[in-house]
Amino acid sequence: MRKKLLYIGNDLAINSFTATYISFFSKVLKKEGYTVRTASNKNNKALRLVEMLGMIVKHHKSTDIVLIDTYGALNFYYAYLVAKACQFYKLDYIPILHGGNLPTRLEESTELSNSLFGKAKMNVAPSEFLFRIFNSAGFNNLKIIPNAIELSKFPFKERKIFAPKMLWVRRFQGRYNPMMAIKVLEQLKKDYPLAELCMIGPEKDGSLQKCQAYAEKNGLNVIFTGKLKKKEWAKVSEEYDIFLNSTNIDNTPISVIEAMALGLAIVSTDVGGMKDLITHNEDGILVPWKDESSMVLAVKSLLEDQERTARMTLSALEKVSNFDWEKIKNNWNELLN
């Protein structure tokens, strides 16, 4: 008989297409036969925390394992308090490590981290990057289970011709450096006047307004769609050929995995776990963070050697097939049971 799970995370509609995992993961776990309760979808942060803790108080007797989506910013404190509630009720819990800034959190909040991660049944790292970081911090209760996608929902488009049509998908937030993508377009237009950029994602901290203002001031043809559901941005991707990941901090972002599945040529900064996800010049190109000129050169190299670029997208598809839920689910079933 499958376990009864309580899944704690930020189940917010605004993050429906990003690496926020709870919406997707809770659904596929239910399909596997698990009983899954989730919290929380409250937009108000205080109410969200109250609901998270309240679910543990209410359901601790009927819960076998608590899953906790764990990031390095404010969510870290949610995860810590949820873990303390689990410890109080002697509930097994599993933090699912997502945040590219978790390494900083380990350094800055050592005592809280030891309590949260050290007493967990297991900590699930989606990448070698976070596994190495946590292992070097002294945690041995670690298991690598990659972030999963339903590959069938991201149909591969085999591109024979790659145009300077670029796509960016993320929250508009400083840590993801959306302005870098716009400045790449600005430089690229000097040699490719017809270059285009589409940016998909919701506003977070004023970055969207800054990007819109810069694009308008400099006459750059950037399309801003706002947030889109996964199937919507997958459809939009058919009109583009190159995916830009301009982030300053990252782990193994779902959006990049999905872009690889869709057949887009990947250019990403080399931060965090990106070196574990992308093999440079084999299934994508990695460039230094905050280095627009290097990203421009990378895009140009994709456009100038189209056969090589096509081979890279096929290699990316081969790699990303390992992230299909149908392959990943056995790892989770083994851990949970």
E strand or H helix at 136, and its extent?
A: helix 128-136
- Please tell me the predicted confidence (pLDDT) of residue 23: 84
Tell me the whole-structure pTM to 2 decimals. 0.91
Domain boundaries, the chain: 4-145, 151-322
Query: Which residue has tokens 């145009």?
Result: 163
- Please tell me the predicted confidence (pLDDT) of residue 18: 45
Which residue numbers in the chain have pLDDT < 50?
A: 14-19
261: left (phi over 0), alpha (psi -120 to 50) or beta: alpha
Tens digits of per-residue pLDDT, 13-30? 544 444 467 888 999 999
Instruction: List Cβ neighbours of 56 (8 Å cut-off, separation of 6 or more).
Output: 6, 8, 63, 66, 82, 85, 86, 89, 91
CATH topology of domain 4-145: Rossmann fold (3.40.50)
- Please tell me the predicted confidence (pLDDT) of residue 38: 94
Q: Do domains 4-145 and 151-322 have the same CATH topology?
A: yes
Tens digits of per-residue pLDDT, 150-198? 999 999 999 999 999 999 999 999 999 999 999 999 999 999 999 999 9
Q: Which CATH class is domain 151-322?
A: alpha beta
